Amino acid sequence: MNVVVGMVVADMHVTYGDQATQLVPRVIPFLMIPLAMFFASYPQNASDWAPWSNWMRIVMESITHKESDVRRYWDSLGACTLFVAIFLSGPLRRLFTSKVFNFIGRVSFPVYLMHNTLIKTVLAWMVYFPSYLNPKFNDQGEKLDLEAPGKIHMTVAIVAFYYILYRLGYLWTCTIDVLIDKWIKAGMRWASGQTATPEEKAQPILAK
């Protein structure tokens, strides 16, 4: 589903360009956004506990193969609907092509690779380190589980964690991505029998 929608939108972009935002009334993309959020809100478990999610399960199971992962279909449908809404809306295009979102998109891959490890290490220590330094015991002398911090501590820890995460993501794009790009280009030149240009030879290995 995602690949097909991406191909259709890419073809529309080549065909219509910026005029694609005039294909539908301006209100349509903004109506598609809550619809996309509804699609993507399908729960991971216990979908039969609420009438709306149970209805979504029944609908998707009726058009997919048996024992399929219904949640993945609804997640994909929600993401594709949101993607098309942004593509068809001029204001949303300008918003999501701003410097902030360009930066977030640029570092999204290294952030994706590192976030789980950093959550289990850096964030865990930032949140539970004070409780670790002052362990508590029950009447039998057994150590109790670490206590969760207060709201202020948790807020500061989360903000600091995201700063560290995205700072490391940016450093990744400035170093590791550059190195991999140079190695791939060198391998392609070697495979095709070409040599590096004088500009490439003079460029530092970690240059942006």
pLDDT, average across residues 80-104: 92
Q: What is the mean pLDDT of the chain?
A: 88
Is residue 14 packed enough to be buried (19+ CB in 10 Å), middle (13-18) or exposed (0-12)? exposed
Q: Round to whole Å and give the CA distance between 152 and 142.
A: 29
User: Which residues on neighbouring strands pair with residue 202, listed in sequence order?
Assistant: none
Concatenating the DSSP letter of every residue in 89-124 gives -HHHHHHHTSHHHHHHHHTHHHHHHHHHHHIIIIIH
Structure confidence by residue, pLDDT tens digits, 23-55? 899 999 999 999 999 999 999 888 889 999 999
**Residue 203 confidence class, pLDDT cut points 50, 70, 90:** low
Whether the per-residue pLDDT at 201 is higher than 80: the answer is no
Q: What are the tens digits of pLDDT across the range 125-171?
A: 999 988 888 888 888 878 888 888 889 999 999 999 999 999 999 99
Q: Please compute the mean of the pLDDT values over residues 94-116 and round it to a whole number.
A: 93
Could you count the other beta carbons within 10 Å of the beta carbon of residue 159? Answer: 10
pLDDT given at position 204: 47
Cα gap 52→54, rounded to integer Å: 5
d(CA 37, CA 30): 11
Q: How far is CA 187 from CA 180, 183, 194, in A?
A: 10, 6, 10
pLDDT of residue 196: 62
Q: pTM (2 decimals)?
A: 0.67
